[in-house]
Amino acid sequence: MRSRRQSRTLLVSVLVAAVIMPAAPAFANTPDRVPVRWLEGTRSTHVVHDGTDTGPADPAAQVTAQVFLAGDSRSLAAYARAVSDPRDPRYGHYLTPEQTRARFGPAQHRIDAVSAWLRGTGLSIVSAGSRAVVVQGTVAQAGEAFGTRFRTYTLYGTPFRAAADPVTVPAAVGQDVLTVTGLTVATGRPPGPPPGTGSRKASRAAGGGAVPTSPCPDHYGDTPATDLPPAYGHPAQWAPCGYTPRQVRDAYGITGTGLTGKGVTIGIISIGNEINTLPDANRFATEHGEPPFAPGQFTAYLPADARPEEASGEFAMDVQAAHAIAPEANIAFVVGSRARYGDGVLDSIVQIVDRHLADVVSGSIIVGDTPGSAPDAIAAYERAFQEAAVEGITFTFASGDSGGGGTDDGIRTVEYPASSPWVTAVGGTTLAIGPGNSYRWEIGWATDEVPLSGDGSSWEAAPPGYQGKASGGGTSTVFPQPFYQRGVVPASFAGSPAMRTLPDVAALADPDLCLLIGETEYNVDDSLSYQVGNGGGTSLSSPAFAGVEALLVQAHGPLGFANPALYARPLSAYHAIAGNPAGTPDTVAFAVVKYGFADLITPGQYADANLVYAPGYNTVTGLGSPTRALIESFRRHRP
């Protein structure tokens, strides 16, 4: 789930809990009011700073707002670090959700105080709990409660109603309020995209000429593409048309460990009720010699307002990727709803944390960029991740598929939640599996590609061609460098002052050389059919690495927030991801056929994707990809 990246003018360099908004307008800036602690550079401030003001909002219009509660945030963060750090004597001393709420949540009299203030402004209490007080009322009532004017804006064609001024609350409840959401909302749909005038597929269709058929070898290196023009002075290799789960387990050293994820639950965060997720996974497993899900091994947690979606998609792929790596792990398929907190992804996360639905969680989801379009509830996200750490739950998120992102006014943005210092960000690789399912090589997923010319005699341009997709990564301008990255991430990457850098780890992601997935998809005539093809993107690498983490939990016990333990391992526990400079005689390249046309793929083109590489760590793959040594290092008998 993406947010559009646009120009930013605000540099943010402190954590959410420490950010103070500028002074409120005169009518709200009285001694008994204080600004709400939240992050500048969210979607709401983006609307106000960059949108076109179209006038005052209707004072009678309805508002639903979420007032998230802070509780004992300082102690929560401190304990989350302690139980996550293998060097701390409290490491692994996890709490239950009930203990977490009792120890770090707001006391009932503080919930009552916040509720009384809100009720006194005329707002109606929808719900009041330890996480948030949700209220409804008019724009006029919300303006009085939060010390702000409401105005209307248009941003990129979408109409919004927004809190035009910094939000304030009475000083008596200032320390109770973590953040406030729901004040700025879209009030209409964005305009539709203009008619297409020339997709890459359409423009190539007129080229003519015979297209070679990919032989789809079982392994990389089996079949030189001698029927295609050479690249870098030698024939390219035909790529396998997708790997089986067994091939990936063999290549990453999982086979032979005796670990299958048995007894561990992997949570999959979903924003859609993809009803064919389980039947598709079982069909694929049966047809490819894998165990289907046993009764009770897959559980869907669905809100009442979840509409069924017949076509499978990203979240069905998540389930199959996790199942491929840890075939006996349970799956908790958690679909969020906007009904409780106005944010479906946050709702999924909170469900998992409050009910301890999983041991390891994967999110192939991006909810914004920081700085610039972070979710308004980012402070609530961070608190939920810290609670997960305290409860021994591991959260893993895809680092995104946009390389190092864009640079706006000298500020580079990175994806969120992957950029949170409390989650494991997973980047992507291009993985070559050779004969005997051997690990041949692995390169950061940052590809260039060039199509075959119309007459088949040459490549349309000199290889490597033009930039394709790439693993997300980079350095945050929002979150300071966490303790576990010190001494590992090169100072030239982390900057000065040192900041959070991502990703942390990586797994296979290149859709041109990746894991087979079976899904129910729409055909061109809008009919549905089951199809097998390549998965790909960091939306695949995240659940794949979550599968590896499920194996680690099986071997070690709960990991909780895994990064300190992952960074504590020697670099030899990971596959070191090498560079692949284009233009040299030993440049790796391979051929694929997609959309009916032959392409040459050159992986590992970091510079083209605004990514940086150094031995030991890079902003494409972090520490590297999993190995047998990494898995064995988490055995219970190991220190």
503-544 pLDDT tens trace: 999 999 999 999 999 999 999 899 999 999 999 999 999 999
| pLDDT surpasses 90 at 629 | yes
- Locate the DSSP E strands across 503-596: 505-508, 516-522, 528-534, 574-575, 590-594
Residue predicted with more confidence, 587 or 209? 587
CA distance 543 to 564: 20
Q: Is the CB of residue 396 less than 8 Å from the CB of residue 423?
A: yes
Residue predicted with more confidence, 505 or 14? 505
| pLDDT surpasses 60 at 12 | no
| pLDDT surpasses 60 at 25 | no
Q: Which two tokens stand for residue 68?
A: 């998230």
- 3-state DSSP of 512-536: CCCEEEEEEEECCCCCEEEEEEECC
Give phi and psi for 424, each to the nearest 5.
Answer: -95, 115
Burial label, 84 (beta-carbon count in 10 A; 0-12, 13-18, 19+): buried
Give phi and psi for 113, each to the nearest 5.
Answer: -65, -45
CA distance 605 to 356: 41
User: In sequence order, what are the residues at sequence separation of 6 or more whose Cβ sits closer than 8 angstroms to the Cβ of residue 546?
Assistant: 266, 322, 325, 360, 361, 362, 394, 396
| pLDDT surpasses 80 at 16 | no
CA dihedral 468, 473, 475, 481 (to 10 degrees): -170
Please tell me the pTM assigned to this model.
0.92
Peptide bond into 417 cis (omega under 30): yes
Q: Is the CB of residue 293 less than 8 Å from the CB of residue 323?
A: yes
| pLDDT surpasses 60 at 192 | no
Residue 609: pLDDT band by 50, 70, 90 thresholds?
A: confident
pLDDT given at position 407 = 59
Q: Are strands 424-434 and 505-508 parallel, antiparallel or unpaired?
A: parallel
pLDDT tens, residue by residue, 61-111: 999 999 999 999 999 999 999 999 999 999 999 999 999 999 999 999 999
CA distance 98 to 84: 19
pLDDT tens, residue by residue, 293-314: 999 999 999 999 899 999 998 9
Instruction: Among 12-26, 33-47, 249-263, 460-474, name the most confident range.
Output: 249-263
Burial 516-527 (b: 16+ CB within 10 A, else e): bbbbbbeeeeee
Question: How distant, in Å, are the alpha carbons of 394, 449, 618 from that of 627?
Answer: 19, 29, 18
Instruction: Give the 3-state secondary structure of residue 382.
Output: helix
Tell me the mean pLDDT in the region 226-247: 95
Tell me the mean pLDDT in the region 175-186: 95
| pLDDT surpasses 90 at 595 | no
Instruction: Give the 3-state secondary structure of residue 63.
Output: strand
Tell me the pLDDT of the chain averaged across its residues. Answer: 89
CA distance 148 to 56: 12
Q: Is the CB of residue 562 less than 8 Å from the CB of residue 549?
A: yes
Residue 17: pLDDT band by 50, 70, 90 thresholds?
A: very low
Tell me the mean pLDDT in the region 360-386: 91
pLDDT given at position 602 = 97
Q: Which two tokens stand for residue 272?
A: 């859609």
Instruction: Give the 3-state secondary structure of residue 339.
Output: helix
Residue indicated by tokens 């760590």: 617
Tell me the mean pLDDT in the region 386-410: 88
